[in-house]
Structure 1
Amino acid sequence: MGKWFLSSNLLRQFLSIFYLISLATAQLNLRPKQHVNAAGLGYRFGQSSDNAEDSDHFKLLAADGESLLVGARNAVYNLSLATLNVQHKIDWKPPADQIEECIMKGKTKADCQNYIRVLAVKNSGQVLVCGTHAFSPKCREYTYSNADAKLENTRQFEGQGISPYDPRDNSTALYIPDSGEIYAATVSDFVGNDPLIYRRKLNEGERTGLRTQRDDARVLDAPNFVATFVSKEHVYFWYRERASEAVDNNEERQVYARVARVCSNDRGGPRPASERWTSFLKARLNCSLASPTPFYFNELKAVSDPIPSTNGDHIVYALFSTPDSPVQMSAVCTFSMKRIREEFDHGTFKRQRNTDSLWEAFPRSEMPKPRPGTCVPDSVRLPEATISFVLANPLMHKCINSVNGPLLIEGVDRAQLTQIAVLPQIQSVNGQKFDVIYLGTVDGNVLKVVNTGDNVTVVQTTRIFAHPQPVVNLLTKSQQLVVVSSNEIAAIGVQQCEQQTSCSRCVQLQDPHCAWDVNSGRSDFFHIRFSKGCIR
C-alpha cells in the first residue's frame, strides 16, 4: 500500500506539471493532421519480431553514396539505398571458444555474438570494421581483392576503446579520413565501468592514443553517448550522464544532458599527461520551459547533424526526455553552434572547493594562461598549470540554453520519442524555406514535423513496423526516409501526398512536400512545394 501511495503521489505531481505545461505552451501534444499506416509498405530488410533474444541489433553505420552500411549480428550489410537489396555482406562470427568463454563469464549465448558497431572507409580503400566479438571487442581491416572481387581480411587487432562490449551500450565513433584517426566514445572494460572519449590513429602497429582520465566522475560519470561530429577545429560529443554538480533530495545524482569537445590537433600534454586530452571541455545543455520553477527535459536521446541557418550559424536539433518513469515526456529543442563555441571559448569554469562546498564559478583572475581548453599549435608544450586545471575543471559554469525553448513537447499520454533526423530548408511554392523534422518513437512510428520558424506543425504520424518496436536510427534523403529498428529496416517516401483527396485538405495538411495539381485533380509530390492555395 505504501509503495502504491508513493506512486500515486508521483503521478499526481506529474499530472499537475503536465497541466501547467499545457497552459503555458502551444507546443504540447500537437495533433497530427494525417495518420498513415505504412507497415509492410516501401522497401524492407530483415523481419519485424517481438523476440528480444533473437535480435540482430541493427545499427545504421554509414550512408555511402547509394549504399547503406548496416552493422548486425555477426555481419555487415551493404544495402542498396534505392531498394534495400543486399549488395555485399561481410560475415564475422567469433570462434566457438570465445563464445564459450563469454558464456562462462555470465553472458547469454545471444549476447556472446559479434555485433558490428563501428565501420569506416579509409582513404586507401580499406574498410575498418569493429564489433563486440563476444564481449571482447575486435577490429578488422578489409581490402578489396580484384582477383576475387571481394573484401579480404588483412588485419585484426584489439578493439578496446573503439567498439563497445555490449551491443545495447550507447556509443559513437567517427573516422577522420584526412588524419587517419578514429574518435570513439564508449567503455573500455567488460563490466562497463570505464567510460572514455578516445582517439587513435589506425596505422598498423599504432597502439597509443588520447583518452579521458579514468575513475574521475568530474570528467565522465556513467555516460550514455548519443552522437559525434566535427565542426571547424573541434570534435563534439553529445551525451547524457550523472551530473557531479546536481544531487537530489535522496543524495542521488541527477542525469544532465551534455555537449563536450576536444581539439582535433590535441597531441596530449607533457608527461605524465602524454595520453590525456589537454582540451576536453563540457557544458550542460538546457532544454526547459522557462518559469519561476523551470521544467527540465534533462536526458538527451538524439541529435541531428548541424543545419546551416540564414544568419551564418549552424543549428542542432536535439531530442530530450524526462527521467524513466510511468509518466515520461519528450521534447525537441534547438541549439546554436555559435553559442556553444562562445561558451567554451570565453565562459567561466565551474568548481567545487571540497566535497561539502557548493559549486561556484571559477574566478577569471585565477585561471592559468593560455586559457584551458584552447587549441594550441603544440599541446605538449603547455605549462603544467594549464594541464592540471583542465584535467580537474572541465565543466563550464553556465549551461547552453536552447533557442527559444522547446519546439515540440510530447506528453505523458504519448509514445516516447527516440530518434531525430532533419531535411533542412525545403523550399515552398511561395519561395519560403522550412526545416522538416522526422521523429522516431518507442512504438515504431515516425512523426513528420514542419518548423516554420514561428511555430511547428505535426503533419503526420506514420506507422512503420507491423510489431511495435523502438526506432533506433533515422536517415533522411531528398525523397526517401530510412527507418531502423533492432530487427527491421524500412525505406519509405518522405511524403504521403496521395492521402489527400481534395484541394482544401491538401492545403490544410501544411506539408511542404505536397501541393494540389489542378490539372490532374490530385495532391502530388513536388520539388518546389508548400501550397497556401491550389496551384496549377
Structure 2
Amino acid sequence: MSSVLERVNGVARCPYDPRHNSTAVVTESGELYAATVIDFSGRDPVIYRSLGGMPPLRTAQYNSKWLNEPHFISAYDIGLFTFFFLRENAVEHDCGKTVYSRVARVCKNDIGGRFLLEDTWTTFMKARLNCSRSGEIPFYYNELQSTFYLPEQDLIYGIFTTNVNSIAASAVCAFNLSAITQAFNGPFRSQENPRSTWLPTPNPIHNFQCGTIDDQGPNEGLTERSLQDAQRLYLMNDVVQPESVDPLVMQDDVRFSNLVVDIVQGMETLYHVMYISTEYGTILKALATPNKNLQGCYLEEMELLPPGVREPILSLQILHSDRSLFVGLNDRVLKIPLERCSTYKTETLCLEARDPYCGWDFRQRRCTTLEDSSNMSQWKQNITACPLRNQTTNGGFGAWAPWQPCNNDDGVDGVSSCLCRSRTCDSPAPRCGGRNCEGSTIEVANCSRLGNEKKH
C-alpha cells in the first residue's frame, strides 16, 4: 500500500481486542457487513452494516436469543442476502450447555423498523447446520471451524469438529444454497416466555424474498404486528441438511482447522479437490464426490514443517492465476503448486495416485496435467477408487532405463569403457514397513578393456 485514501473509524467494524474473532464482507454497492464484538469486554456481539448508501443497522443489543456468545466464521454476499456462518451457545437446548453451528442471513435492502426495531434488522433469521455421522443415534460434529463458498455450484463447504473438551474428531460437510433457503422458508421456533419450551411456529411470510413485498424493499408497509413478529421470530425450526447423508470426510483423533476447494477438470468429469489444514500443521488433500467408491478419499498428506515441529495453519488461499495454494503460518507464508504431476515418475505411480490434476501421457511418457498433455486421446486417468494409504506395500522395480556409455572400475583391471543401465525401486516404492526390492539396480555390459561382454 503506497497511499491512504480515507481513514474510517473501526468502532463496530472490528474488535478492540485482536483475540476477539470477527469476519466481514463488502458488497458490490459498497456496504460493509461486519460480524464482531463492539465493546472492550467482548460481551456485545453484533452483525452490523455501515458505509455505503444504506442506513446503519445492527442485531438487537444485549439479547442473547439473537446472538449467544457467538464465534463468527465467515460472511458472504449472495444475491439479495448477506449470509453469516457462526457457532454459538444454543438457546433452544433445554438441558445443559451445548454449541450449535448456524447460518444467519439479512436482506441487503433492509432499512430497519419504525418505533420497534429502530436501527435494528427486521429480516434477521438464523438456522442450525447439521453435520453428523448417520446411525441409530447420530454422532454430531457441532462446532463449525471454517467455510468455503463455491459460487459455480451454489455450495458451501464447512469444517466441523467436536468440542475442544471432547474426544477429537473432525468432518467436512457441504450445503447447497437451496437447502439453506428451504430451512428459511419453513416454520420458526419460538418461546412464549423465558420459562416455556421452544415450539414450532408457522411462518407468516412463507417463501419470503427481500424484493417481493415491495419494489422498495421489505420494510415498506411494515405493521406493528409484523415488527413484533420480526422481534421474536428469528430462529428457524428446520435444520439445514447437508448434500450427503454422511460427511464427505471424517477423521477421528485430529482437528481440522481451515478449508479451501478447487474445481478440477478430469478426463471424464469435474472433481472437487479439498485442501484441509490440521492442528498439527499438515494439509490433507481429499476428494469431494457423490461416488461412493471415492467418498472420503485422501489423496495425500502434505508435511510442511520439519519433523517434530507442530504449528497451527492460520489460513489457506488458492490463487488460480498462479495455480498455487498459499499457506499462512505465524511468521511466514508458504506457496505450494496445486499441480505436482512431475513427482510421479512412472505410469503406475501416476495412475495409482488418483490425482484429478494428473494423468499419464503415453506419447510424452510422463505424468502431466490435462492442459500439458500432447493429445487427450493419449492421456489416461484411473480415478475409480481411493489410493492406497497406510498399507504395507513391498517394493517393485520399474523398467530399465536405456543403455548409456559409462566408465566402470572393477578394482582389478582398472577403468573400462562400458554401457550401463539402471532401474529404481518405485513401482511401487516400499511403504509402511514393506520390503525393499531385491536384485541389482545397475547393469554394466560391453566393457572394451576386457574385449568381451561383461555383466554385473
Q: How far does residue 201 in structure 1 lie from its aligned partner after superposition?
A: 1.8
Aligned length: 365
1:190 corresponds, among 25, 40, 47, to 40
2:232 corresponds, among 392, 396, 408, to 392
1:436 corresponds, among 261, 273, 280, to 273
Q: How far does residue 510 in structure 1 lie from its aligned partner after superposition?
A: 0.4
Higher normalized contact order (CA 8 Å, seq sep 6+, divided by chain length): 1
Cα distance in 2 for partners of 1:325, 1:485 equals 25
- Tell me the TM-score normalised to structure 1 length: 0.64
**What corresponds to 1:501 in structure 2?**
345
Q: How far does residue 176 in structure 1 lie from its aligned partner after superposition?
A: 1.7
**What corresponds to 1:447 in structure 2?**
284
**Alignment partner of 1:246: what SS?**
coil
**Structure 1 runs of 4+ with >6 Å offset:** 370-373
Q: Deviations over 1:394-453 (max 9, x none)?
A: 1000110111120110102xx3110110112x1112x31111111111121111112232
Following superposition of structure 1 onto structure 2, how do residues 282-297 of structure 1 map, counting pairs within 5 Å?
Answer: 282-297=126-141
**What corresponds to 1:273 in structure 2?**
117
Cα distance in 2 for partners of 1:160, 1:522 equals 57
Larger radius of gyration: 2
- Tell me the TM-score normalised to structure 2 length: 0.75
**Alignment partner of 1:447: what SS?**
strand
Contact 1:270–1:381 (CA under 8 A) maintained in structure 2: no
Q: How far does residue 202 in structure 1 lie from its aligned partner after superposition?
A: 4.7
Q: How far does residue 282 in structure 1 lie from its aligned partner after superposition?
A: 0.3
Contact 1:241–1:255 (CA under 8 A) maintained in structure 2: yes
Contact 1:372–1:389 (CA under 8 A) maintained in structure 2: no
Percent of residue pairs identical: 30
The one-letter amino acid paired with 1:472 is L
> Structure 1: where are the runs of 5+ without partners?
1-87, 89-149
Q: How far does residue 482 in structure 1 lie from its aligned partner after superposition?
A: 0.9
**What corresponds to 2:9 in structure 1?**
158
**What corresponds to 1:471 in structure 2?**
313
The one-letter amino acid paired with 1:407 is L
**Alignment partner of 1:162: what SS?**
coil
2:247 corresponds, among 406, 422, 427, to 406
Following superposition of structure 1 onto structure 2, how do residues 303-452 of structure 1 map, counting pairs within 5 Å?
Answer: 303-309=147-153, 314-325=154-165, 327-344=167-184, 346-363=185-202, 367=204, 374-375=210-211, 376=213, 377-378=216-217, 379=219, 381-404=221-244, 405-412=246-253, 415-424=254-263, 426-429=264-267, 431-452=268-289
> Structure 2: where are the runs of 5+ without partners?
374-378, 384-456
Cα distance in 2 for partners of 1:486, 1:391 equals 42
Q: How far does residue 499 in structure 1 lie from its aligned partner after superposition?
A: 2.6
Q: Which has the higher helix share?
A: 1
Cα distance in 1 for partners of 2:380, 2:15 equals 44
Matched, 1:523 2:364: no
Following superposition of structure 1 onto structure 2, how do residues 106-255 of structure 1 map, counting pairs within 5 Å?
Answer: 150-151=2-3, 153-178=4-29, 180-202=30-52, 209-248=56-95, 251=96, 253-255=97-99
Contact 1:223–1:241 (CA under 8 A) maintained in structure 2: yes
**Alignment partner of 1:262: what SS?**
strand
Cα distance in 2 for partners of 1:371, 1:512 equals 39
Cα distance in 2 for partners of 1:353, 1:372 equals 23
Contact 2:80–2:210 (CA under 8 A) maintained in structure 1: no
Cα distance in 1 for partners of 2:5, 2:78 equals 33
Contact 1:513–1:530 (CA under 8 A) maintained in structure 2: no
Q: How far does residue 357 in structure 1 lie from its aligned partner after superposition?
A: 2.5
**Alignment partner of 1:244: what SS?**
coil
Q: How far does residue 488 in structure 1 lie from its aligned partner after superposition?
A: 1.7
